[in-house]
Amino acid sequence: MFAGMNTGASPALAPHHMAMIPPERLAEIQKEYFAELAHLATNPEAIEVKDRRFSGKAWHSSWSKTIAATYLLNAKHLMALAKAVEADEKSKQKILFTTEQMIDALSPSNFIATNPEVLENIISSQGQSIQNGIVNLLGDMKKGKVSQTDETAFEVGKNIATTEGQVVFRCELFELIQYTPLTETVYERPYLMVPPCINKYYILDLQPDNSVVRYMVEQGHTVFLVSWKNPDESMSKVTWEDYVGNGVIKAIEVTKNIGGTEQINILGFCVGGTLTASALAVLAAKKDASIASLTLFTTLLDFTNTGILDVFIDENMVKMRETSIGGESGKFGMMSGLDLGNTFSFLRPNDLVWNYVVENYLKGNSPPPFDLLYWNGDSTNLPGAMYCWYLRHTYLQNDLVKPGKVSLCDQKIDLGKIDCPAYIYASQEDHIVPWQSAYESTQILKGKNRFVLGASGHIAGVINPPAKNKRYYFENSKIAKTGPEWLTGATEIKGSWWPDYTKWLAQYGGKKIAARKTFGNSKYKELEAAPGKYVKEKLGSAV
């Protein structure tokens, strides 16, 4: 989300940082380091390396184990030094982040000369692996990113994003898809999904066995979904307010009109959740009760603690972006989706960058097909005006939680005026939306709230279909003041949280009616079959 920006982070552990470590703590860290280093040198046969980067058989030789163990010891020592620096919280966070980035980049697994698996491959393939790796590298240089999956294995609308439906509305910001019912009867109230405008909507509709969209249709909901347009330069002046009013609120109006109901249920995912809550605050200010229930998946409303992303945000960085693409100097531009994607990958560099550098370039392998990673690489741009507003008023100033601070669609908004029931889901290992911060929504929204904490990360925690019987979730019907307090009283339940969610949502679906065989209505006609055309648009140029 914050790619291509100067983070303001100083080099990891620069000399002046060393001077900020208390002398007694520095001496203690150095003493521990030399004691462990001496133990490594005198007891090589006792070395145990517990790190998946060094788990292959080739790493079991004494030479390779010593290299790996020495690296891990040095990494541990550097992190201890970084944590010992006495500085303000923001500076300390930057020091830790840049130190971790440096450590991960310098792993011996990332270099031909110190990776025994790579050396074995070169010998066994008579150099073919290196040739293949160069071809892979050149291909990725053209794309501007490290390949994480076989992109030729998927095609949107063919074997991914395949749930049947029709586009029933299109404007310059989004298409609205209405999905084909899969049950004889459906809940009276339609169900509208608002995905993030970063990446494509089909994270919610990957393949039939892990599609949230299909699952909700199978539960008897008439599902509508916003498919955001991939912005090009003509949209550089589009604002956050446009996404709220001409985006979410318009989608609500169309869904209500086609459904013929006074109320609908609505879901917002990640940034889509922040947009949805902004829209509902506008409706609340107008005394509009169109929403029967609100669902938020891994969403921030309170941006006090944004975890690792806080490293990137300060006044200078935001001002620089406002000047370069936000229109402050009369220059409007786009935030590059390619840069966004690369930055998000570097938030988990060992899993999403260096692993593929080793496999693709050093070993000469091609990545296997994986639908989630295909979606992850199918990035979208963001309008400069919208992006800069989002940075300043959420991550930097946290204005959305201040009643009356923000005006949208001619209304001063107050998230505390949203009083419909809300289901708030967070993922335990989410590095983009810390679950404790997602929990804060239970303190902001004034309706009857339910909070559920799932396992895994920002995306994998959400995409957890029941049939696979994977992972676990925590449930506690009593809302406490803080996330940790809530978790203390929570019960761990094995498997997917999806059935818990659909049971909760059923309360707000209204009566059951016969499923309609037609799409749209006299005002909103069928335009084309799902997945529509916007989701197929690839990245345009960004300036």
Active-site pick, 270, 388, 409, 420: 270
> How many angstroms separate the Cα of 501 from the Cα of each of 179, 378, 472?
20, 28, 14
Is 202:511 a contact under the CB 8 Å cutoff? no
What is the C-alpha separation between 347 and 513, in angstroms, rounded?
Answer: 46
Length, in residues, of the chain: 543
Q: How far apart are CA 34 and CA 55, in angstroms?
A: 26
Per-residue confidence in pLDDT tens, the chain, 543 aa: 444 433 333 335 665 666 688 999 999 999 999 999 999 999 888 888 999 999 999 999 999 999 999 999 999 999 999 999 999 888 888 899 999 999 999 999 999 999 999 999 999 999 999 999 999 999 999 988 999 999 999 999 999 999 999 999 999 999 999 999 999 999 999 999 999 999 999 999 999 999 999 999 999 999 999 999 999 999 999 999 999 999 999 999 999 999 999 999 999 999 999 999 999 999 999 999 999 999 999 999 999 999 888 888 889 999 999 999 988 877 899 998 888 888 888 888 998 899 999 999 999 999 999 999 999 999 899 999 999 999 999 999 999 999 999 999 999 999 999 999 999 999 999 999 999 999 999 999 999 999 999 999 999 999 999 999 999 999 999 999 999 999 999 999 999 999 999 999 999 999 999 999 899 999 999 999 999 999 999 874 333
Facing residues of 397 across strands? none
pTM for this prediction: 0.91
Helix/strand/coil (H/E/C) assignment for every residue in 399-422? HHHCCCCCEECCEECCHHHCCCCE
Question: Angle CA(63)–CA(65)–CA(66) in degrees, nearest 5?
Answer: 65
Which amino acid type is present at position 280? L
Q: Which residues make beta-bridge pairs with 176?
A: 169, 226
| Predicted confidence (pLDDT) per residue in 338-385, tens digit | 888 888 888 889 988 999 999 999 999 999 999 999 999 998 999 999
pLDDT of residue 277: 98
The three-class DSSP label of residue 38 is: helix
Angle 404-406-412 (CA atoms, 0-180°, nearest 5)?
50
Q: How far is CA 479 from the centre of its chain?
A: 25
Specify the pairing of strand 185-187 against strand 512-514: antiparallel
DSSP letter at 174 equals: E
User: Contact 177/225 with Cβ under 8 angstroms?
Assistant: yes
3-class DSSP assignment, residue 276: helix
pLDDT tens, 106-163? 999 999 999 999 999 999 999 999 999 999 999 999 988 999 999 999 999 999 999 9
**Tokens coding 36:** 């462990």
171 belongs to the catalytic site: no
